[in-house]
């Protein structure tokens, strides 16, 4: 009888000990248990999007701006309610610095040891291409004057590639940077891509078009940082004003023709 009781007690102790290993103590958190590589590989797409965004220190609104979507859309991706299309996943990968293969499948190309290829001088480097079946019109302009002012003439002088966040966006356009008023953010000769439909917020880079008095005056354009807009005044900022010019610019709201958000820039 005593032998049976001793065995019963040992079994109970074993069960209690095993059970305790499956629970977190009050002083432990899930962060105390590192995620294994196998778990990371089998993360759902929604989890990989969330992980990529947080690793890049981006808010949901930041990722929405980078992909040309809304914050609500980002929240739906991360909750698994909707799945972004491939072109949007490409934009997410670019914004977060993650590999598109990992984002889509959970497979990290950097952690896979591929078979070493034979030397081949024509072996192409890996790159992420932009959509080849779409283009963005590059609009012409004439040189303006103070504060980096220029005039958009509306004529299409060329075509440039379409970044993922502008794929399918009606009315998207590109413009060459004029002057040095926005250095080091933008340099003269660079190209900026514009989404005319996105709302702008403080800190966004924009192209603002301002109406001058009289129909004979063309609409003046400025590439600036958006500060604020009220019922009376539009406030913009430039980083590198010429001597005698101010960093802060103000325009009467009733003279504002448009304020369009810059979503991408590059030298092409």
Kindly report, residue by residue over 112-163, the tens digit of the pLDDT.
Answer: 444 444 444 444 444 444 555 688 999 887 766 777 888 887 788 889 999 8
Query: Per-residue confidence at 214, pLDDT binned at 50, 70, 90?
Result: low
pLDDT at position 22 over 90:
no
pLDDT at 208 (0 to 100): 93
CA–CA separation, 170 and 160 (whole Å): 15
User: Please, where are the H alpha helices in 31-99?
Assistant: 37-41, 45-55, 60-67, 71-79, 86-96
Domain ranges of the chain: 34-113, 135-266
Query: What are the pLDDT digits (tens) for 85-94?
Result: 877 888 888 8
**CATH no. of 135-266:** 2.10.109.10
Binning the chain into helix, strand and coil, the percentages to the nearest 5 are 30, 25, 45
- When pLDDT is averaged across residues 34-51 and rounded to a whole number, the result is 65
More confident residue, 7 or 242: 242
pLDDT at position 242 over 70:
yes
pLDDT at 218 (0 to 100): 76
**CATH no. of 34-113:** 1.10.260.40
CA–CA separation, 240 and 66 (whole Å): 25
pLDDT at 173 (0 to 100): 93
- Structure-token pair, residue 103: 């984002």
- The Cα-based distances of 85 to 78, 88, 136, 167, 199 in angstroms read 14, 5, 20, 11, 22
Beta strand 191-195 pairing with 150-161? unpaired
**Closest-CA residue to 69 (of 137, 168, 138):** 168
CA–CA separation, 126 and 87 (whole Å): 18
pLDDT at 26 (0 to 100): 37
Minimum mean pLDDT among 57-66, 178-187, 214-223, 255-264: which range? Answer: 214-223
């Amino acid at each position: 009888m005593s032998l049976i009781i001793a065995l019963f007690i040992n079994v109970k102790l074993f069960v209690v000990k095993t059970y305790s290993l499956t629970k977190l103590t009050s002083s432990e958190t899930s962060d105390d248990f590192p995620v294994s590589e196998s778990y990371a590989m089998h993360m759902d797409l929604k989890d990989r999007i969330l992980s990529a965004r947080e690793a890049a220190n981006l808010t949901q609104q930041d990722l929405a701006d980078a992909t040309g979507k809304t914050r609500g859309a980002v929240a739906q991706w991360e909750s698994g309610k909707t799945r972004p299309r491939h072109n949007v996943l490409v934009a997410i990968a670019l914004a977060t610095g993650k590999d598109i293969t990992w984002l889509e499948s959970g497979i990290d190309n950097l952690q896979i040891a591929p078979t070493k290829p034979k030397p081949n001088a024509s072996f192409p480097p890996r790159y992420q291409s932009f959509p080849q079946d779409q283009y963005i019109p590059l609009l012409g302009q004439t040189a303006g004057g103070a504060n980096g002012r220029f005039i958009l003439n509306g004529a299409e002088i060329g075509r440039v590639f379409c970044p993922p966040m502008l794929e399918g966006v009606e009315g998207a356009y590109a413009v060459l940077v004029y002057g040095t008023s926005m250095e080091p953010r933008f340099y003269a000769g660079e190209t900026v891509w514009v989404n005319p439909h996105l709302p702008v917020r403080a800190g966004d880079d924009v192209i603002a078009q301002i109406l001058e008095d009289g129909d004979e005056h063309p609409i003046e354009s400025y590439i600036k940082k958006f500060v604020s807009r009220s019922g009376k005044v539009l406030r913009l900022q430039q980083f590198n004003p010429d001597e005698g010019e101010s960093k802060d610019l103000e325009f009467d709201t009733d003279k504002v023709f448009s304020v369009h958000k810059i979503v991408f820039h590059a030298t092409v």
